[in-house]
Amino acid sequence: MDEREATQAVLDWAAIFMQLSMHDFTRHARGSGLSLAQMIVLMHLHHRGSCEVMSFGDLMQVSPAGASQMVERLVQQGLVQRSEAPDDRRVRLVYLTEAGQRVVAESIRARQGWVEALLAALTAEQRSAVGGVLRMLTEQALALEARSDAPHA
């Protein structure tokens, strides 16, 4: 397989993965009474840990006031809590609560079904090969992300 074919194969997989995963993600968000933006914030906190309130403005491409309002709604629902940063009282950090962690766990389980069905259709050898390739791609993607996040001189 040449580079062009490999690129197309990865793009094809990414497209179907996103379509199926986002369908289940959106359905679960609606069933939980949350907006897609709120679920994205919860997932971000799950994967990245506590964040400043204002970082959600960048994440969601909304104004600082919009980010603050979104976080406030999540606080009122008991899914996140805010507290002062230990080193700077002006900075407000957002954390998942136990209830928020449960919502995230339910969302992850809701999206796992189609992946489990897909993998069940493969042989053990195929599952092993797929797992190895996906681990390798994940490592490379994380390395690219780390390089893009690094400060440039």
Q: Is the separation of the CB atoms in 40 and 59 below 8 Å?
A: yes
For the chain, give the mean pLDDT. Answer: 87
Interatomic CA distance for residues 81 and 94, integer angstroms = 6
**Residue 150: is its pLDDT beyond 70?**
no
Query: For residue 125, how many C-alpha atoms fall within 13 Å in the half-sphere facing its CB?
Result: 0
Closest CA relative to residue 42, chosen from 79, 92, 93, 82: 79
CA-atom Rg of the chain in angstroms: 19
The predicted-structure confidence for 6-15, as pLDDT tens digits, reads as follows 999 999 999 9
The predicted-structure confidence for 120-139, as pLDDT tens digits, reads as follows 999 999 999 999 999 999 99
Q: Which residues pair with 97 in a beta bridge?
A: none
The predicted-structure confidence for 11-47, as pLDDT tens digits, reads as follows 999 999 888 888 887 888 888 888 888 888 899 999 9
Q: What is the pLDDT of residue 57?
A: 79
User: Is the CATH number of domain 17-112 1.10.10.10?
Assistant: yes
pLDDT over 70 for what percent of the chain? 97
